[in-house]
Amino acid sequence: MSTTTAPRTVADLLAADRAHVWHPYASATRPGPVRLVERAYGARLVLADDPARPGEPREVVDGMASWWAAVHGYAHPALDAAVTEQLGAMAHVMFGGLTHAPAVRLAERLVELTPAGLEHVFLADSGSVAVEVALKLAVQHQRGAGRPRRTRMLALRGGYHGDTSGAMSVCDPVGGMHALFPGRLAPQVFAPRPPARGSDPAAVTAWVDEVRALARDHSDELAAIVAEPLLQGAGGMHAYPAACLVALREIADEHGLLLVLDEIATGFGRTGTLFACDAAGVRPDVLCVGKALTGGYLSAAAVLCTREVARTVSDGEGGGLLHGPTFMGNPLSSAVALASLDLLADGSWAADVARIERGLATGLAPLRDLPGVRDVRTCGAVGVVQLDHPVDVPRATDAAVAAGAWLRPFRDLVYAMPPYVASDAEVATIVAGMTAAVTA
Ligand code: PLP
């Protein structure tokens, strides 16, 4: 029997991890390798064991920002202080019938920062739950508007929106991570993946025509269009033209559909504007944010909607939005989210994102000429190398760590989205890690 305080060796902890801990998208009986992290600061992770020098810690630059989230880096004094200070007042309290200053102030700040017209905020506890809430809002909105048959979503091939049932139902149904679950999920309507950014305008027109025809054919059963704006993340790191997003807004309006934009990955500056939809001048009816909302400190997400959506949902059957997770509006995560938004307030993130994009674009460009490399692209502080074959993840990860970077390739993609605080030298290390992973 282990205790929580007794010192444990690295080998012992890793053995216990293999025995008991289930990692994301992993086998419990044949788990892949994992590394023990001891500490994190700035853009760096301190791994407990250097594979090249067992027993020695190994510092690596985090190319993943903990999956888009740690935009300000780790152990940031302002974020640490926000959590500590809030802890002195209260760690958590239920949100039914109670409220508190951190949640109220966070809702106000989100309304200020997001596109005009989004006025009501539901504070969810994870990105996937935020997507569930958005889907419910769409269905309840249509019902409240006297269109109860409109319950399906028009989603995009190549999309990724989370791992809960509703969220999975709008993820790519074939190539995505959820192909094992068809038929158990709500049968949504899928439009093709948008053409890649920089495609011929004729390809954009053809795609828009196809989506418009789908929306028309299914208009009496569709509640909303659901999309990640301008960059599809975990469904393929695929950037697409602003014109496609503008067209989705128009098509939604033509058919009385809500436009639900999932900015859980793209939000808070990652693609070069505070929200990706800002770059297209598109305002959604419902917006989901998460991940970087708390600077990656604690799990929290938020769903914002227009006054009109809030009114139809609230005045309709049910008398309000039918959702209420235990940890919604958590004071610690609200406080750290506020501190994170304060750090973004001076706008210096924009120069950092542009600087990181330049570093990634310049550093990765030579990889284009390597055999097996299909494409190299950047989109804000996101760098992607797409191969023409699946990546050997353990080998690629080992090679990246040996080059000084933490990466987590998937499918045919080696990619990075560093914390905005990554220095030029750290970005160069990430590029070296990606190069090593590609050539591994
Ligand atoms: N939506 C998008 C675009 C995402 O990238 C993710 C996570 O990667 C989610 C939703 C789900 O968020 P979470 O993992 O916090 O549930």
Q: Order of strands, edge to edge, in the sheet holding 405-406?
A: 37-41, 44-47, 58-62, 405-406
pLDDT of 1 > 60? The answer is no
Beta carbon of 126 within 6 Å of any ligand 1 atom = yes
Spatial contact of 324 and 396, defined as CB atoms under 8 Å apart: no
Cα Rg of the chain, angstroms: 22
Which of ligand 1's atoms lies nearest the C-alpha of 299? Answer: 15
Spatial contact of 356 and 61, defined as CB atoms under 8 Å apart: no
**What's the one-letter identity of residue 44?**
R
pLDDT of 12 > 90? The answer is yes
Q: Once rounded to an integer, what is the mean pLDDT over residues 79-92?
A: 98
Spatial contact of 404 and 433, defined as CB atoms under 8 Å apart: yes
Spatial contact of 420 and 412, defined as CB atoms under 8 Å apart: no
Task: Clarify whether 25 is annotated catalytic.
Answer: yes
Beta carbon of 270 within 6 Å of any ligand 1 atom = no
Phi and psi torsions of 18, nearest 5°: -60, -35
Q: Which of 10-24, 103-117, 170-184, 191-205 has the lowest mean pLDDT?
A: 170-184
Work out whether the CA dihedral 192, 198, 203, 209 comes out positive or negative.
positive
Q: Once rounded to an integer, what is the mean pLDDT over residues 193-201?
A: 97
- The contacts of residue 273 (CB under 8 Å, 6+ apart) are 279
Structure tokens given for 256: 């009385």
Structure tokens given for 319: 């008398």
pLDDT of 3 > 70? The answer is no
pLDDT confidence bin for 98, thresholds 50/70/90: very high
How far apart are the CA of 331 and the centre of ligand 1, in A?
A: 21
Residue nearest to atom 12 of ligand 1 (CA): 127
Q: How many angstroms separate the Cα of 333 from the Cα of each of 21, 79, 292, 365?
A: 25, 10, 11, 39
Residue listed under structure tokens 């190299």: 376
SS3 state at 44: strand
Separation CA 334–CA 129 (nearest Å): 16
The one catalytic residue among 125, 136, 291, 297: 291
Separation CA 38–CA 47 (nearest Å): 6
Residue nearest to atom 10 of ligand 1 (CA): 161
Which of ligand 1's atoms lies nearest the C-alpha of 290? Answer: 15
pLDDT number for residue 174: 79
Separation CA 276–CA 240 (nearest Å): 11
- The contacts of residue 160 (CB under 8 Å, 6+ apart) are 171, 172, 176, 177, 228, 232, 233, 234, 235
Residue nearest to atom 7 of ligand 1 (CA): 162
Task: Clarify whether 415 is annotated catalytic.
Answer: no
How far apart are the CA of 133 and the centre of ligand 1, in A?
A: 13
Structure tokens given for 74: 């780790």
Chain segment 266-275, per-residue pLDDT in tens: 999 999 999 9
Read off the pTM. 0.97
pLDDT of 7 > 90? The answer is no
Which of ligand 1's atoms lies nearest the C-alpha of 266? Answer: 3
Q: Which of 25, 161, 328, 382 to mutate to test the pocket of ligand 1 (most atoms within 8 A of CB)?
A: 161
pLDDT number for residue 187: 84
User: What DSSP line would sit under 187-201, residue for residue?
Assistant: --EEEPPPPPTT--H
pLDDT of 2 > 60? The answer is no
pLDDT number for residue 341: 98
Chain segment 276-330, per-residue pLDDT in tens: 999 999 999 999 999 999 999 999 999 999 999 999 999 988 899 999 999 999 9
Beta carbon of 262 within 6 Å of any ligand 1 atom = yes
What ipTM was predicted for this assembly? 0.99
Spatial contact of 307 and 106, defined as CB atoms under 8 Å apart: no
Name all domains of the chain by residue range, CATH numbers in brackets.
35-68+348-439 (3.90.1150.10), 78-345 (3.40.640.10)
Helix (H) or strand (E) holding 224: strand 222-227
pLDDT of 52 > 90? The answer is no
pLDDT number for residue 177: 63
Which of ligand 1's atoms lies nearest the C-alpha of 232? Answer: 3
Beta carbon of 264 within 6 Å of any ligand 1 atom = yes
Interior angle at CA 167, CA 163 and CA 171, nearest 5: 90
How far apart are the CA of 303 and the centre of ligand 1, in A?
A: 13
Task: Clarify whether 136 is annotated catalytic.
Answer: no
Which of ligand 1's atoms lies nearest the C-alpha of 233? Answer: 5
pLDDT of 406 > 90? The answer is yes
- The contacts of residue 267 (CB under 8 Å, 6+ apart) are 274, 275, 276, 289, 290, 291, 292, 293
Q: Which of 66, 128, 168 to mutate to test the pocket of ligand 1 (most atoms within 8 A of CB)?
A: 128
- The contacts of residue 3 (CB under 8 Å, 6+ apart) are none
How far apart are the CA of 229 and the centre of ligand 1, in A?
A: 13
pLDDT number for residue 184: 62
Beta carbon of 131 within 6 Å of any ligand 1 atom = yes
How far apart are the CA of 236 and the centre of ligand 1, in A?
A: 13
How far apart are the CA of 88 and the centre of ligand 1, in A?
A: 30
Q: How many angstroms separate the Cα of 201 from the Cα of each of 134, 195, 198, 269?
A: 31, 10, 8, 27
Mean pLDDT over each residue of the chain, to the nearest integer:
95
pLDDT confidence bin for 176, thresholds 50/70/90: low
The one catalytic residue among 74, 160, 297, 420: 160
